[in-house]
């Protein structure tokens, strides 16, 4: 049985990062759920990435432009960046203690993760598109 | 709370004068601690790696000047080394996740078990990377 606590620390400045924000279990659950997808996709991504090194552009297109590798890599990129954004949020919260700077860093992380996932998808769609 | 939003401004002010409890500095490096740090570093590194690989794939997809600018990430020796390190980071981070998955279920939490799991993360990450690249070179 769990007992919810309504205590909220007002501690500010040094040490504030060690005060619980009550989002820990939600974060852990989110990371674990995305990991279930990323474990097999990560192995596939490692395999495909190792296969494109040293190839000219046409070779890369032939290697990962087929439907299955392209879809697997798109899924890896999108789910990976959702997972990475959450992970980077934790790093920012742990190390950036100035509230205004933290807010900016979290916002930058949100948009950077979205941009990488979108451009990653676009790039793989261009690679896989019929010529 | 007072008007500044602090629970107790006086105790906060006094707290700011005191040192924080030492954490990193009082521990000798342990495998579980090192692998925890490595998990975070590989995670942050993969964030940057995804941005670099996106540029490479955009170069391949768009061709022209874009490929001239970023194609080296896949075709040069330095690019090859980067991709090799990225595959290692993927596997190391993945196995770190498996370690946490087991610990979340209360498994391998005894001193020997957790040490073995941490070493397994390190060895498994390196082993999977080498195996992948050998298999890839054999597959052609």
pLDDT digits (tens, 9 = 90+) for A16-74: 666 666 677 888 899 999 999 999 999 999 999 999 999 999 999 999 999 999 999 99
Residue A13 has what pLDDT?
62
How confident is residue B1, by pLDDT bands cut at 50, 70 and 90?
Answer: very low
For chain B, say whether A131 makes contact (Cβ under 8 Å): no
Q: Which of A57, A61, A91 to mutate to test the interface with B (most CBs of B within 10 A)?
A: A57
Residue B72 has what pLDDT?
92
Q: Which of A28, A30, A36, A42 to mutate to test the interface with B (most CBs of B within 10 A)?
A: A42
Tokens of B133: 């690249």
Tens of pLDDT, residue by residue over B43-97, are 999 999 999 999 999 999 999 999 999 999 998 999 999 999 999 999 999 999 9
Mean confidence (pLDDT) of chain B: 90
Q: In the A/B pair of chains, how many CB contacts fall below 8 A?
A: 132
Model pTM score = 0.84
Residue A17 has what pLDDT?
60
Task: Evaluate if residue A117 carries a pLDDT over 50.
Answer: yes
Q: Which alpha helices (DSSP H) does chain B contain, by range?
A: 9-17, 31-62, 64-70, 72-75, 77-104, 111-139
CA B136 to chain centre: 24
Tokens of A32: 């674990």
Burial of B78 (0-12, 13-18, 19+ CB in 10 A): exposed
Q: Which residue has the tokens 């941490």?
A: B118
Contact list, B67 vs chain A (CB under 8 Å):
57
Mean pLDDT of B20-28: 73
Torsion of CA B90, A71, B101, A83, to 10 degrees: 70
Longest dimension (CA), chain B: 69
Q: ipTM, 2 decimals?
A: 0.85
The H or E element that residue A93 is part of is helix A67-95
Tell me how crowded residue B85 is: count the other CB atoms within 10 A of its CB.
Answer: 14
Give the three-class secondary structure for A6.
Answer: coil
């Amino acid at each position: 049985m769990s007992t919810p606590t309504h205590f909220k620390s007002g501690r500010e400045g040094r040490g504030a990062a060690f005060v619980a924000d009550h989002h820990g279990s939600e974060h852990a659950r989110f990371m674990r759920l995305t990991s279930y997808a990323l474990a097999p996709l990560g192995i596939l991504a490692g395999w495909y990435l190792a296969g494109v090194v040293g190839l000219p552009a046409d070779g890369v297109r032939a290697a990962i432009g087929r439907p299955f590798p392209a879809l697997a890599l798109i899924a890896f990129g999108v789910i990976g960046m959702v997972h990475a954004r959450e992970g980077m949020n934790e790093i920012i919260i742990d190390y950036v203690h100035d509230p205004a700077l933290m807010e900016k860093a979290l916002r930058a992380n949100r948009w950077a993760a979205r941009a990488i996932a979108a451009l990653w998808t676009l790039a793989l769609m261009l690679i896989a598109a019929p010529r | 709370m007072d008007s500044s939003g602090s629970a107790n401004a006086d105790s906060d002010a006094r707290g700011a004068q005191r040192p924080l409890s030492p954490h990193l500095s009082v521990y000798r490096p342990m495998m579980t601690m090192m692998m925890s740090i490595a998990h975070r570093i590989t995670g942050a590194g993969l964030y940057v790696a995804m941005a670099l690989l996106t540029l490479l794939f955009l170069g391949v997809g768009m061709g022209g000047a874009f490929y001239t600018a970023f194609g080296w990430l896949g075709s040069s020796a330095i690019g090859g080394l980067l991709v090799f390190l990225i595959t290692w980071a993927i596997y190391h981070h993945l196995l770190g996740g498996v370690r946490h998955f087991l610990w979340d279920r209360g498994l391998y939490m005894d001193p020997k078990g957790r040490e073995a799991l941490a070493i397994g993360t390190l060895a498994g990450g390196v082993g999977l990377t080498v195996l992948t690249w050998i298999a890839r070179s054999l597959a052609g």
